[in-house]
Structure 1
């Protein structure tokens, strides 16, 4: 069974909730407004669940894992805002066709481990997604350790996804957020996990979106500055979205091909062609990440 570990699809209730907001993040019709990015025209067809399911099946995909779009910044919202929108996401995603599984989400400003534990009991919930902006240093990982402990006990994995881009001065191209701050966030979260995460959570399986911003390729500089990459960790995985053969092959040389899992980030990017990459990226490796083997 081919698995895509990372896609986005907004249930109708989440779309309605974003349209009802007067503060970031919000939608006006189908245009998305975020504080650190240019207004983004959303394609309504990309969030048609039946159309997306039928297209995936026609391409040979057997399972898609949907995640809340962490660049929206929902997990970071204060007070009850985060929990309310995350509840809408969970309920809406679980009402989608059974073909779609999902990554749970959790507030990071006011974490609720008990709520997460209840969500993780659902069969279609693969694990937990957290924004890299909430895991950017060892202290941040320690702060969210209660959530990670619940996840570890449930035997389900963590997906680390880029979070909201910070506001910057001047006009920037539309690709800026995805290529500059997102990648820097992934690099930081990988380094923080390298320093503190594994010590706190020795058995937790974790996958970094976008090949962790290619952070492991800096192992020579890490060593030159007094650190060490260490031996391959069988419980760390690297998801491929927006990268191609060159970057994937380079990373696999450092972390091993068994650590690479396919994710497309659809509808924002396209999936890899299974005919041009090792089959393990689409099957055996995601199965180990998800605890299906």
Structure 2
């Protein structure tokens, strides 16, 4: 079975909850308002469950849109509850990543959600993992996740407000990439020592952070072999970047994710089949599982 590790689909209940808000993030009809981005006109068809379901041919893992800033919001826990309740009601092939407040972490609430079979693991915003101290602060959540045996997905978080007019693509190419780079560096400084068994995937090829290994070594940073429990999700990138990263971290570390509806899936005919099958299974279940010709998981 093909697996897309990263898409976004807003259930109707989440849309209505965002429309009731008067502070960021909020919707007015289908226009999204965020503190650090230009108003964004959402395409309603992109969140039509029937249309999206018809476009899929494999398992899809949906994630809460972390650039909204819900995980950081003082009242974010209520919206996260809406996300979990409504996303768990979506039909196959949609499964989901759990979310958690980083403003006021609640490990017990996370543990309850992780027990759901349709929950693949936990997604956290890169803005909450931007340094070693930040990873230490979130240890209560990461400890629960590690004990569950499920993985962590690191996703770009909210962009900070900036002065002046910026193009609409600016957040995705500047703050998002920088956030992923910081979180990857922080994980390698502090995360693996604290959570030795936790599998982790970085969205958008971790902002291409592993390609800086030569500069890292030149500046006195750690030079270590690739961590087999660190994976890199492909969204918004194509062959040039994916092949370059695979040359550094190894092809077994690459997992397909599309970021649909903001980007389109890769063509499975143009990339190694493992990016869509075995590698995602290794991320989700660990290396004790394999994918057989009949698409059944076997220990």
Q: Which residue number in structure 1 is paired with residue 65 of structure 2?
A: 69
Q: Alpha-carbon deviation of 1:99?
A: 1.4
Q: Which residue number in structure 1 is paired with residue 294 of structure 2?
A: none
Q: Deviations over 1:170-229 (max 9, x none)?
A: 110000000000000000000000100000000000000000000000000000011123
1:245 aligns with 2:246: no
- Unpaired segments ≥5 residues, structure 2: 290-299
Q: Which residue number in structure 2 is paired with residue 26 of structure 1?
A: 26
Report the Cα distance in structure 2 between the residues aligned to 1:162 and 1:55, rounded to whole angstroms. 25
Q: Alpha-carbon deviation of 1:98?
A: 2.6
Q: Which residue number in structure 2 is paired with residue 86 of structure 1?
A: 80
Q: Alpha-carbon deviation of 1:232?
A: 1.4
Q: Which residue number in structure 2 is paired with residue 109 of structure 1?
A: 103
Over aligned residues, Cα RMSD in angstroms?
0.7
Q: Which residue number in structure 2 is paired with residue 55 of structure 1?
A: 55
TM alignment of 1:1-293, pairs within 5 A: 1-57=1-57, 62-78=58-74, 81-291=75-285, 293=289
Q: Alpha-carbon deviation of 1:126?
A: 0.1
Equivalent pairs, count: 287
- The residue matched to 1:56 in structure 2 has which SS? coil
Q: Deviations over 1:241-265 (max 9, x none)?
A: 0001000000001000000000000
Contact 1:50/1:97 (8 A) holds in 2: no
- Unpaired segments ≥5 residues, structure 1: none
Q: Alpha-carbon deviation of 1:51?
A: 1.2
Q: Alpha-carbon deviation of 1:282?
A: 0.2
Runs (4 or more) in structure 1 with deviation over 3 Å come to: none
TM-score where L is the length of structure 1:
0.97
Q: Deviations over 1:100-122 (max 9, x none)?
A: 00000000010000000000000
TM-score where L is the length of structure 2:
0.95
Q: Alpha-carbon deviation of 1:289?
A: 0.2
Q: Alpha-carbon deviation of 1:55?
A: 1.0
